[in-house]
Amino acid sequence: MVYDSGSGEYKNWIVKEECVPEEHPEKTESIMCLGNGYMGQRAAHEDYYHEKSRFNLVAGTFDLMEGDEATELPNNADVTNCEITVDGERLTPEGGCESYEKTLNLKTGLLRRVFTKTMKNGKRVSAEFLRVVSLADRHLMASKINIVCDADCEIALKSGIDGNVWHKEHFEPMGISAVSDVLNITTRTKQSGILFSTMTCNKFSLDGVALDASPSVVSEDDMTIMNEASFALKAGMTLTLTKISNVFTSRDRERDGCDMASLKSAAAEHMKRAKALTFEEIAKASADEWERRIWSERDVKIESENEIDQLAIRFAIYHLTVMAPVFDNRMNIGAKGLSGPGYKGHTFWDTEIFMLPYFIFTAPDEARSLIEYRYNSLDAARRHAKERGFDGAMYPWEAAWITDGETTPPQYLTGQIEYHITADVAVGVYSYFVVTGDEDFMKKYGYEILIETAKFWASRLEYVAERDRYEITNVIGPDEYKEEVDNNAYTNYLAQYNLQLAIRYAKRLEKEDAETYARLDEKCGLSDAVRDFESKVDKIYLPRENEDGLVPQDDTYLTLKDIIPLKPGGRTLSEDPRESHNICWENGGLPKVMMSKQADVMLLMYLFEDHFTADVKKKNFYFYEKRCVHDSSLSLSTYSALAADLGELKTAYRLYGRAERIDLGPVMWSSHEGIHSASLGGIWQCVVFGFMGVRRYGEELRIEPHLPDEWRSASANIIWRGERLEITVTKEKLTVKNLTGGKAVSVLHKGRRHEVDGVLEIAL
């Protein structure tokens, strides 16, 4: 069991591991990862670790390792380590201990681990480990270790900076030093040339009184520097090690491209101030920032029969905070955030379709920064399109640094033909604009993205004379089990939408903002481009439902061998994905049967709700759901939110329950490479868009709640065109409070518009 609802003040705020994991410690290392968007610090243990457990990942610091094909986030030196011996015996909970507990407090961002162990000589030792990565100061991290023994003993501690971590080959050592009580390692990434400085300061105290421990400095090589100290500890007294650390790099916006001397001096200045603080002061400043920036504004409250529902949404918001470098528009969110090496730290469509909606509706400035990243990558996307023989901008399937272009490892076809990412980016821009009304953003960045992405599609379309229509062949749609297919419905609809958006805004600009129009005409050839878009847009082939009411996922999906029912009375693939491995993978390769990895047609129906009748949506839902193994963590949330729209609440809640357990559930290997970022954005969407029914509907805000039976109420804040709204849904009533009260917000409910400048109450 890896979650627990906590109690008292922290009820429904605590993620807990109750025993030493015999296997797969990676799970809680990922799901209890600390961070602040600048860096992520995986929750590996101080005293024991396996090869791939210690990760300190700094957003945007991509580097190409010799012999590798794609850049990745390098793993910075570790400051969490501490080797403890009691009378010469190593202290670690591994191999057995009397009590053990590891918790992450989502409200305060505090990681805590405690255990008690009887050593071989019969002495009982209790140890407490606390750690925080500051949300108030992004370079700062602190930890504290308290040790008590029931008998007099000799304790030795070795603690410092260890650069000998997994994939350290990214770095060239640039020097280690110990100046006064501050240890420092400096390194440089070999290909991208980014300088790193990591500092730490060990402070010892006994029963709260500072000790002048005069630790010795030891170093085994040019990637390690440690303090060693030993103490004669009296029974019942508490020995404390407080470790204050900081990380700076030459990629930091404030010192972009600086030299090592100035990097070190910024780090040393910072350390001078930081080491004067206590652990409690650092932890409090960080907890206060969690409260100020996140929980006071973005908490979602759920009263449910199942406590995990409340915990899961907070878990999602917690991770969406620690993983997102929203203060630097040259960076974006990785598919595993900053919590592990999975997907090399790369950004996918996961951002636009799954996570961005959370930011758009709760923190527009942060959303803007994430989209500006796409603008800052526009030149690379233009280059990419050109290299592939297309016009406009073709966004990379996997993105890293803004100038990198496509970073999908070449062995994956996704990097060549999973084209829909380009339209997903356009959808993100459009949604942001509708919800925020941020015209300044559109003028500077948004319109250009819409035009350049539309130009890409106009050149990518293939005219088929005998059918007098444009098709898009040889693609991968969202369902990555189906490669090299023709006319993936999701892709074709989104391509058309991208063109429609570009046409609509070009026309509007031409009428209302001649200056911007002229600038874009000169820069992007807007007038010619729009003529081209208009000649093609209505001739794009959009797969419609067949006589059975099914919308084909692509030209061949519905002609493939059906595998339902698997066996008489058997469980469907969705209920038991293991079945797919028995039946479909026997010859290796991707299954050429009606089986999907993830939501595809369903995502289309979720995003384009008006294009299909409720009846068609329902039919397709049950058809595709049975054939979907939800083998991607992006799948369940879409199915759940769509089921909620369709009023299929039992199904929606069942699927939601599975979505919230992707990272939080008991399967221990599920998050070893890092948490599932998109799934966390999906959880927020299930709750707010799905069950609470709060949606952007065209250009309007619509609220149509569908609470599951198990919930008594749900409440969330959103920001619509600058007005903060508190929305509460119970079985009986919908309440919308305009907390800003600046201007009335129009809310659509059951076809009627209500203007809300104070409080709106509607009986349900």
Binding piece for ligand BGC, criterion CB under 6 A, among 10-18, 215-223, 267-275, 347-355: 347-355
What are the structure tokens assigned to 369, written together? 């920064």
Four-CA torsion 242, 248, 254, 255, nearest 10 degrees: 140
Using the minimum distance from each CB to ligand BGC, give the nearer residue, 102 or 336: 336
Binding piece for ligand BGC, criterion CB under 6 A, among 86-94, 169-177, 342-350, 737-745: 342-350
Binding piece for ligand BGC, criterion CB under 6 A, among 3-11, 183-191, 341-349, 400-408: 341-349
Is 419 a binder of ligand BGC (CB under 6 A)? no
User: Could you say which of 189, 224, 632, 670 contacts ligand BGC (CB under 6 A)?
Assistant: 632
Binding residue count for ligand BGC, defined by CB under 6 A: 12
Is 343 a binder of ligand BGC (CB under 6 A)? yes
Least distance between ligand BGC and beta carbon 371 (Å): 18
Distances (CA, A) of 586 to 142, 234, 485, 583: 50, 64, 22, 7
Say whether 305 is catalytic: no
* Long-range CB pairs of 209-213, under 8 A, 24+ apart, other chains included: none
d(CA 446, CA 149): 62
- Rounded-to-5 percentages of helix, strand, coil across the chain: 35, 25, 40
Is 670 a binder of ligand BGC (CB under 6 A)? no
Binding piece for ligand BGC, criterion CB under 6 A, among 2-10, 59-67, 267-275, 345-353: 345-353
Q: Rule CB under 6 A: which of 554-613 touch ligand BGC?
A: 597-598
User: Could you say which of 141, 161, 302, 335 contacts ligand BGC (CB under 6 A)?
Assistant: 335
Buried/exposed code over 456-468 (b: 16+ C-beta within 10 A; e: otherwise):
bbbbbbeeeeeee
Least distance between ligand BGC and beta carbon 372 (Å): 21
- Give the residues across from 184 on adjacent strands: 177, 199
Binding piece for ligand BGC, criterion CB under 6 A, among 225-233, 274-282, 348-356, 739-747: 348-356
Is 671 a binder of ligand BGC (CB under 6 A)? no
Using the minimum distance from each CB to ligand BGC, give the nearer residue, 349 or 517: 349
* Long-range CB pairs of 506-515, under 8 A, 24+ apart, other chains included: 506/451, 506/530, 509/447, 513/443
Is 634 a binder of ligand BGC (CB under 6 A)? yes
Using the minimum distance from each CB to ligand BGC, give the nearer residue, 80 or 677: 677
Least distance between ligand BGC and beta carbon 79 (Å): 29
Is 373 a binder of ligand BGC (CB under 6 A)? no
Query: 606 and 638 in contact (C-beta within 8 Å)?
Result: yes
Which of these is catalytic: 29, 83, 366, 480? 480
Best CA proximity match to 266, nearest among 202, 197, 328, 201: 197
Is 312 a binder of ligand BGC (CB under 6 A)? no
User: Could you say which of 350, 372, 452, 625 contacts ligand BGC (CB under 6 A)?
Assistant: 350
- Give the residues across from 172 on adjacent strands: 188
Mark 506-525 with x for binding to ligand BGC (rule: CB under 6 A) and - for no binding: --------------------
d(CA 252, CA 409): 26
Q: What is the 3-state secondary structure (H, E, C) of 671-710?
A: CCCCCCHHHHHHHHHHHHHHHCCEEEECCEEEECCCCCCC
Q: What is the 3-state secondary structure (H, E, C) of 66-100?
A: CCCCCCECCECCECCCCEEEECCEECCCCCCCCEE
Residue 508 phi/psi, 5-degree rounding, is -65, -45
Is 678 a binder of ligand BGC (CB under 6 A)? yes
Using the minimum distance from each CB to ligand BGC, give the nearer residue, 312 or 634: 634
Using the minimum distance from each CB to ligand BGC, give the nearer residue, 354 or 390: 354
Bridge-based pairing of strands 469-471 and 462-464 is antiparallel
Instruction: State which amino acid sits at residue 491.
Output: T
Using the minimum distance from each CB to ligand BGC, give the nearer residue, 325 or 337: 337
Mark 454-493 with x for binding to ligand BGC (rule: CB under 6 A) and - for no binding: ------------------------x-x-------------
Q: Which residues contact 346 (CB under 8 A, 6 or more apart)?
A: 70, 72, 334, 335, 398, 399, 400, 407, 408
Strands (DSSP E) found in 360-487 = 462-464, 469-471
Least distance between ligand BGC and beta carbon 385 (Å): 20
63 in helix, strand or coil?
strand
d(CA 17, CA 43): 12
Q: What angle do CA 283, 287, 289 make, to 5 degrees?
A: 120
Binding piece for ligand BGC, criterion CB under 6 A, among 151-159, 346-354, 492-500, 734-742: 346-354
Strands (DSSP E) found in 339-475 = 462-464, 469-471
Least distance between ligand BGC and beta carbon 679 (Å): 9
User: Could you say which of 279, 348, 457, 541 contacts ligand BGC (CB under 6 A)?
Assistant: 348
Binding piece for ligand BGC, criterion CB under 6 A, among 344-352, 357-365, 499-507, 529-537: 344-352
Active-site residues, by number, are: 480
Q: Give residues in contact with ligand BGC (CB under 6 A).
A: 335, 343, 348-350, 478, 480, 597-598, 632, 634, 678
